[in-house]
Amino acid sequence: QTLLELAKKMPKTELHLHIEGTFEPEQMFAIAQRNHVALTYATVDELKRAYQFESLQDFLDLYYQGMSVLLHEQDFYDLTMAYLKRVHDDNVVHVEIFFDPQAHLERGVSFETQIKGIYGALKDAERDFGMTFKLIMSFLRHLEEKDAFDTLALAKPYLDWIDGVGLDSSEVGHPPEKFVNVFRECKSLGLKVTAHAGEEGPPAYVWQAIDEIGVDRIDHGNRALEDNNLIATIKQKALTLTVCPLSNLKLRVVDSLVEHPIRCMLRLGLNATVNSDDPAYFGGYMNDNYAALVEETQLTKEELYRLACNGFEGSWLDQPTKAKHL
Ligand code: ADE
Ligand code: ZN
């Protein structure tokens, strides 16, 4: 079998996925209609044509606009279930998904509404597909630390459903150190911690994520490769990098996949993984990301296996469950 066939068939994990970034235009229009809310774009095609991004912020503007039609528990359930069905076809057997509670709270959608819809779909996929999952609540870094604390307070009744916390949205100008206190509190509650770092931000932000936040893994991490001491530290701590090839291409983090750093990360001994970030916006789900790497980067069979294994190793599953998947 070809490498591409192998990539598609092998069991995989998804460790960097924003559920709001799986909102396909067709579903967005359907939910907008049933909720009687208007979208800025008149048609699915018009919306899709707007998916041309020069930067992370360019994308985020559309991302927050798109999710604004999500109002009811059923909307969050339908969004999540559509994604889980889609990646079940890609043989993704374990997912760790982010949601952005603050982006919905500010529109008047309660924490309870959001999490009940998302968690309900995850439990149904566990029952129906044998999929395992972790749920990660992400703080919006363009807001203040106080807002993150307020969100954490709302999450307290649901901590049994939440495995970890993350940090996302506009990176440059919002360094991890801005959130040191709230992450300390999260850790004391037993939550795992990750943060987007080094997507557009400098190596200093990755250092802060490690030294000041004490992250359990790093989302993206591309720009860590600019600093040899940082590379050595990530390796020594065996921190997993949740890398997102098609996202990096769409958001101009790289000019082409040929020059994508993921193979370099593997050569350096870093635990790089493949993930889709916001697949509805970036042109592909899990297998599309693998297919793009196989086709564009001369990935070897060993590298393919390593990437998939790194996904299980870097997951927050307990050892027996990991072993069951493999
Ligand atoms: N929110 C959703 N996708 C994101 C990304 N790639 N970077 C930062 N924030 C995000
Ligand atoms: Zn992301």
With a 6 Å cutoff on the Cβ, whether 196 touches ligand 1 is: yes
Average pLDDT estimate for 177-187: 98
pLDDT digits (tens, 9 = 90+) for 45-97: 999 999 999 999 999 999 999 999 999 999 999 999 999 999 999 999 999 99
pLDDT at 1: 87
The domain tally of the chain equals 1
The pLDDT confidence band at residue 185, using thresholds 50, 70 and 90, is: very high
Average pLDDT estimate for 245-251: 98
pLDDT digits (tens, 9 = 90+) for 65-77: 999 999 999 999 9
59 CA → ligand 1 middle, Å: 8
pLDDT at residue 239 tops 90:
yes
Check: CB of residue 168 under 8 Å from CB of residue 151. Answer: no
CA distance 137 to 275: 17
Check: CB of residue 304 under 8 Å from CB of residue 264. Answer: no
pLDDT at residue 5 tops 90:
yes
pLDDT at 179: 99
CA distance 130 to 324: 11
Check: CB of residue 308 under 8 Å from CB of residue 302. Answer: no
Q: Which residues are catalytic?
A: 199
With a 6 Å cutoff on the Cβ, whether 138 touches ligand 1 is: no
Average pLDDT estimate for 127-135: 98
pLDDT at 6: 97
Which CATH number do you get for residue 73? Answer: 3.20.20.140
pLDDT at 326: 85
Q: What is the DSSP string of 88-112?
A: HTTTEEEEEEEE-HHHHHTTT--HH
Q: Which two tokens stand for residue 284?
A: 């592909």
Average pLDDT estimate for 28-40: 96
The ipTM is 0.98
Residue-range definition of the domain harbouring residue 298: 3-325
With a 6 Å cutoff on the Cβ, whether 208 touches ligand 1 is: no
CA distance 296 to 309: 21
With a 6 Å cutoff on the Cβ, whether 276 touches ligand 1 is: no
42 phi, psi to nearest 5 deg: -80, -35
Average pLDDT estimate for 184-211: 98
The answer on whether 94 is annotated among ligand-binding residues is no
**What pTM does this model have?**
0.98
Mutating to test ligand 1, I would choose from 62, 137, 168 the residue with most ligand atoms within 8 A of its C-beta, which is: 168
Atom of ligand 1 at shortest distance to CA of 169? Answer: 9
Q: Which two tokens stand for residue 203?
A: 């190596």
Q: Tokens 């598609």: give the residue.
A: 8
pLDDT at residue 288 tops 90:
yes
Share of the chain above pLDDT 70, in %: 100
pLDDT digits (tens, 9 = 90+) for 199-232: 999 999 999 999 999 999 999 999 999 999 999 9
The pLDDT confidence band at residue 171, using thresholds 50, 70 and 90, is: very high
pLDDT at residue 252 tops 90:
yes
The answer on whether 36 is annotated among ligand-binding residues is no
Q: What are the residues whose beta carbon lies below 5 Å from ligand 2 (ion)? A: 277
168 CA → ligand 1 middle, Å: 5
